[in-house]
């Protein structure tokens, strides 16, 4: 435990009072109680949702199901946008809006058998927790707000977004903050991802990923000896790049995860490639490592082009293609931001203790833009994320839903701090 200064606890104390008053409103109280009563229905939704495959870039079927659900719940302005996100609104009188989102895609490729099922209390199936639990929470919050009409000055924007996982590269939420009509009208964002109530993700772990291919004329290993060799160039680039130093703090990492190239032992290869992953909590370090990587590749290729002891290769040069296959911006939420203070106050009110964490989620986008955003879990417990053995235990889910609802309503309440001003 790190010591907490008086000035840091004071506002939480006042805000906790605000949360207590909010929770005591009859409509809010009714919604909070209703979550536990509805568990059987939430479980049904979750199993049905997880039964619709949603591989990266193949979320349309699941989005269709969600659009019908949004309409059934009675959200306004329900529509699917250009990239496949499903949006729905509960209008308020004040702007900016509060966005509540959950990603609908899974890491699992098309063609795997999803077969979600309940055994005893637990639910099993790929994606059942990440992020069928989050999407179920999104629906539960929307229905709770629609049904009990708790007060919210700000409009609530519900987003079931595509493209969070892997090479989806946050494209769904990126679209919301770059192209969507709501992009400048979102004051704070709550991202619901996975299970649990014990974390608040307030810092965005950035990453940048590259596919690097070096191509050459190739040739016969005996008669064309001396022609530049893409595998040698890539290997040398790896050696050069892997010698660079990275700081322990801000934590910065790199990985060459895949290499490939060549066709036979007696052919000079025509092509070689590698995939590289760079991560850091610091946007500066990510930039620096990218420059180092590009410089290592350039040096390695030049050296191979300039000819070696194997002979000259003046006219037969190598070509390099560096493709960015992933780019998730890093960032840190201001510790004094209202969303974080309210989340702390809600946890204090509920008697919940949560750790601040850094992770790569949809919240990376708003956080990197300097907007207020956090990611939290949907309640319950989960495990085996990104494996076929994934599970979710709904026991205590209502606490996660209560936590999310109180936070959303507090953010949407309208306040002198300007969140909805
Ligand atoms: Zn997720």
Q: Ligand 1 centre and the CA of 79: distance in Å?
A: 23
Distance CA 378, CA 115 (A): 22
Q: Quick one: angle between helices 26-37 and 39-50, nearest 10?
A: 60
Q: Ligand 1 centre and the CA of 333: distance in Å?
A: 19
Q: Ligand 1 centre and the CA of 165: distance in Å?
A: 7
Q: Ligand 1 centre and the CA of 227: distance in Å?
A: 47
Q: Ligand 1 centre and the CA of 389: distance in Å?
A: 16
Q: Ligand 1 centre and the CA of 164: distance in Å?
A: 7
Q: Ligand 1 centre and the CA of 301: distance in Å?
A: 38
Name, in order, each residue with C-beta under 8 angstroms of 228's C-beta and a sequence gap of 6 or more.
216, 217, 304, 305, 307, 313, 316, 317, 318
Q: Ligand 1 centre and the CA of 191: distance in Å?
A: 10
Q: Ligand 1 centre and the CA of 315: distance in Å?
A: 50
Q: Ligand 1 centre and the CA of 89: distance in Å?
A: 23
Q: Ligand 1 centre and the CA of 258: distance in Å?
A: 24
Q: Ligand 1 centre and the CA of 37: distance in Å?
A: 26
Closest residue by Cα to residue 254 from 224, 285, 214: 285
How many Cα atoms sit within 13 Å of 118 on the Cβ side?
Answer: 12
Q: Ligand 1 centre and the CA of 192: distance in Å?
A: 8
Q: Ligand 1 centre and the CA of 142: distance in Å?
A: 20
Q: Ligand 1 centre and the CA of 326: distance in Å?
A: 16
Tell me if 127 sits within 8 A of 108, measured CB to CB: yes
Q: Ligand 1 centre and the CA of 134: distance in Å?
A: 8
Q: Ligand 1 centre and the CA of 365: distance in Å?
A: 14
Q: Ligand 1 centre and the CA of 309: distance in Å?
A: 51
Q: Ligand 1 centre and the CA of 132: distance in Å?
A: 9
Average pLDDT per consecutive 10 residues, the chain (421 residues; last block may be shorter): 44 88 97 97 98 95 98 98 98 94 95 92 96 98 98 97 92 96 96 98 95 96 94 98 95 95 97 96 93 98 80 72 95 95 97 96 96 98 93 98 98 59 30
Tell me if 196 sits within 8 A of 379, measured CB to CB: yes
Name, in order, each residue with C-beta under 8 angstroms of 262's C-beta and a sequence gap of 6 or more.
231, 269, 271, 272
Name, in order, each residue with C-beta under 8 angstroms of 199's C-beta and a sequence gap of 6 or more.
354, 355, 356, 357, 376, 377
Tell me if 325 sits within 8 A of 258, measured CB to CB: no
Angle at Cα 323 formed by Cα 315 and Cα 239, nearest 5°?
70
Q: Ligand 1 centre and the CA of 391: distance in Å?
A: 14
Q: Ligand 1 centre and the CA of 388: distance in Å?
A: 15
Distance CA 179, CA 134 (A): 24
pLDDT at 314: 53
Tell me if 237 sits within 8 A of 301, measured CB to CB: yes
Q: Ligand 1 centre and the CA of 138: distance in Å?
A: 13
Q: Ligand 1 centre and the CA of 27: distance in Å?
A: 31
Tell me if 177 sits within 8 A of 369, measured CB to CB: yes
Q: Is 376 exposed, middle or buried (0-12, 13-18, 19+ CB in 10 A)?
A: buried
**Cross-strand pairs, 392:** 123, 382
């Amino acid at each position: 435990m790190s010591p907490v200064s008086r000035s840091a606890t004071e506002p939480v104390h006042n805000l906790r009072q605000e949360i207590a008053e909010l929770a005591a409103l009859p409509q809010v109280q009714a919604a909070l109680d209703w979550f536990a009563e509805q568990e059987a229905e939430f479980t049904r939704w979750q199993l049905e949702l997880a039964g619709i495959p949603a591989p990266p870039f193949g979320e349309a079927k699941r989005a269709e199901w969600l659009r019908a659900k949004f309409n059934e719940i009675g959200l306004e302005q329900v529509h699917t946008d250009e990239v496949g996100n499903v949006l729905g609104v509960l209008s308020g009188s004040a702007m900016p809006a509060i966005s509540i989102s959950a990603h609908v895609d899974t890491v699992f490729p098309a063609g795997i058998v999803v077969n979600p099922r309940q055994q005893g209390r637990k639910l099993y199936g790929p994606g059942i927790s990440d992020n069928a639990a989050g999407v179920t929470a999104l629906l539960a919050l929307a229905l709770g707000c629609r049904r009990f009409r708790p007060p919210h000055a700000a409009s609530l924007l519900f987003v079931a977004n595509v493209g969070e996982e892997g090479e989806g590269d946050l494209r769904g939420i990126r679209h919301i903050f770059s192209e969507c009509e709501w992009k400048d009208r979102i004051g704070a964002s709550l991202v619901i991802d996975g299970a649990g109530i014990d974390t608040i993700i307030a810092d965005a772990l950035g990453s940048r990923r590259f596919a690097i291919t070096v191509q050459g004329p190739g040739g016969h290993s005996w008669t064309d000896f001396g022609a530049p060799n893409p595998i040698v160039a890539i290997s040398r680039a790896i050696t050069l790049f892997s010698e660079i130093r990275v700081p322990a703090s801000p934590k910065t990492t790199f990985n060459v995860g895949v290499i490939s190239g060549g066709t036979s032992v007696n052919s000079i290869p025509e092509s070689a490639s590698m995939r590289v992953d760079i991560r850091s909590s610091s946007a500066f370090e990510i930039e620096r490592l990218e420059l180092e990587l590009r410089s290592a590749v350039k040096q390695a290729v030049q050296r191979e082009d300039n000819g070696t002891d194997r002979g000259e290769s003046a006219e037969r040069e190598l070509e390099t293609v560096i493709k960015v296959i992933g780019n998730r911006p890093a960032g840190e939420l201001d510790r004094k931001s209202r969303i974080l203070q309210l989340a702390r106050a809600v946890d204090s009110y509920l008697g919940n203790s949560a750790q601040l964490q850094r992770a790569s989620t949809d919240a990376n986008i708003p956080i990197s833009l300097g907007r207020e955003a956090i990611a939290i879990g949907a309640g319950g417990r989960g495990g085996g994320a990104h494996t076929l053995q994934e599970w979710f235990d709904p026991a205590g889910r209502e606490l996660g839903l209560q936590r999310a609802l109180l936070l959303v309503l507090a953010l949407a309440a309208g306040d002198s701090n300007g969140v909805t001003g």
